[in-house]
Amino acid sequence: MFVQISFGQNNLEQLLKKYNDNSIPYISVEELSMPTTNVILLDAREIEEYQMSHLKDAIYVGYTNFKIENVTSKLKNKNQAIVVYCSLGIRSETIAKKLKSAGYTNVKNLYGGIFEWKNRSFDIYKNTGTKTDSIHTFSKSWSKWSKKGIKYYPKQWF
């Protein structure tokens, strides 16, 4: 019997190792979902992604137009637990590093991002505050990591 093992980007751990340097610790979706977990959630995706779907009570900080001053003006306690997320955990590591450089001491990156959150059947919300099954997957190629929900990606992004 012949078994082929693929080392392509079919494994989330391999993907994150390829793009991230692990300078920011991860938090799992299971740990984040625990009722005793008290954190500030920061969404490090583009505004179109955030408006379509985000974690409940997440604050949009963006990626392309991220400005550390927007965070420091709102979050004065630099020891407050903060979790940054994006689609998978790649862009969020970049933003989390900027927070760390600005003196925030308790910053984590959501492992697998909003895709893993939805893949584990946790709720996501529209800009109106209502639950949604639609998830912005950024692009067609990245959409393969989103296993649940109604996938959306703009045609100009693939």
Q: How large is the average pLDDT for residues 110-133?
A: 96
Per-residue pLDDT band at 4 (split at 50, 70, 90): very low
Read off the pLDDT of residues 81-96 as tens digits, 9 standing for 90 and up. 999 999 999 999 999 9
Question: At the fourth CATH level, which superfamily is domain 12-157?
Answer: Rhodanese-like domain (3.40.250.10)
Q: How far is CA 157 from CA 1, 39, 70, 91, 154, in A?
A: 41, 32, 27, 16, 6
State the Cα–Cα distance between residues 51 and 67, nearest whole angstrom: 19
**CB neighbour list of residue 46: distance below 8 Å, 6 or more residues apart:** 62, 63, 64, 138
The overall average pLDDT reported for the chain is 90
State the Cα–Cα distance between residues 15 and 8, nearest whole angstrom: 9
Helical spans, DSSP H, in the chain:
12-19, 29-33, 47-52, 68-72, 91-101, 113-119
- pLDDT value at 5 more than 50: no
Helices then strands (H, E): number in the chain? 6, 9
**CB neighbour list of residue 73: distance below 8 Å, 6 or more residues apart:** none
Residue 109, H or E segment: strand 107-110
